[in-house]
Amino acid sequence: MKRAHEYDAARGHGFISSQKEGSELFAKIDPEAPLIVLLTAWQYSHHIAPSLAKHKGPVLLLANFDGTWPGLVGMLCMAGSLTSLGVEYSRLWSQTFEDDFFKSGLATWLKDGKLSHDTSYLQDVAANHALLQTPAGQAGQQVGEYILKNKAILGLFDTFCMGMMNGYFPVKALTDIGMPLESLSQSALLVEMEKVPQSLREDCLKFYEDRGMTFMFGSDDATELTREQVLEQCAMMIAMARFTTRFGLSAVGVQYQQGLKDSCAASDFAEGAIGSTERFPIPDEDGSIIWEASPSLASTKWIWAPPFRRP
């Protein structure tokens, strides 16, 4: 076993931090070497996926199965990216790395250069399958037919701004299922947020506080959640709703980690509140209520991070 890249004492971690860094790293690796990609946390797949696509040796994605360090989530992100690029790879995971499943899986990969898992429990569902004859199946078919005919437009602010290959669905695939993408600009979202007056932001926050939501506010907006940040998140939610109405969207997502983190508070509260069963009634700019106090769309959460602003 040979580690391909070392811990960086100056940065305090050993992560590959950019696509350029990943490319330079892979240029030094034997393209025929068996390669284990160890994933112990969330990561940006595009840092190494293009290089893995050109690697000729067998590739194993290896992840820990632990809620504290969610490597399995990161591995699924990488797997989705490699699948979209047509790259062959194997997957393996463990909580302790002492179990027979892990040991036998690793031994198989080391011996054969590939590892597959049992998928015999999966089955195709034909149009006349018994599941589709149930009330739930019939309702599902009706929804599917409605979407194909009328479309369910998905709004996404700055598609691919985080470099998440697995999070970028091909246009044809979305079109085929009646769920086309409406690409929106995050700069436009910031402009729309600025149009939300302070009084409306205060009304929005009060709505949630009156209903028992508790915010643990601090004073340092670089390390703590501040009241001003949540007020800004209220403005974001209102702006998102106005975009949804304007473009006729069925869902909306904000890729904020690499898109908005230097400009405004993160979208955690905005995305959670906009899809809540008890939501602040959202007005348009003229004061007319465009969204009542219940959700009419599903808000898509792309990635989680603590709310923060640039210091």
Q: CB under 8 Å, gap of 24 or more: what pairs does 141-150 form?
A: 144/178, 147/177, 147/178, 147/179, 148/177, 148/178, 149/178, 150/178
- If you ran DSSP here, which 8-state letter would residue 102 be given? H
Domain ranges of the chain: 19-112, 146-300
Token match 């992560």: residue?
15
| Token reading at 2 | 């040979």
3-state secondary structure of 157: strand
For domain 146-300, give the fold.
L-fucose Isomerase; Chain A, domain 2 (3.40.275)
Identity of residue 148: L
Lowest mean pLDDT among 167-171, 246-250, 307-311: 307-311
Lowest mean pLDDT among 37-41, 140-144, 259-263, 298-302: 298-302
Contact residues for 209 (Cβ-Cβ < 8 A; gap 6+): 215
| Token reading at 34 | 């068996």
**Per-residue pLDDT tens for 79-92?**
989 998 999 999 99
Lowest mean pLDDT among 207-211, 257-261, 304-308: 304-308
Adjacent-strand bridge partners of 183: 156
pLDDT (0 to 100) of residue 170: 82
pLDDT of 127 over the 90 cut: no
Tell me the whole-structure pTM to 2 decimals.
Answer: 0.76
Alpha-carbon distance 113 to 232, whole Å? 51
CATH: 3.30.70, 3.30.310, 3.40.50, 1.10.150. Which one for 19-112? 3.40.50
Number of H helices, E strands in the chain: 10, 9
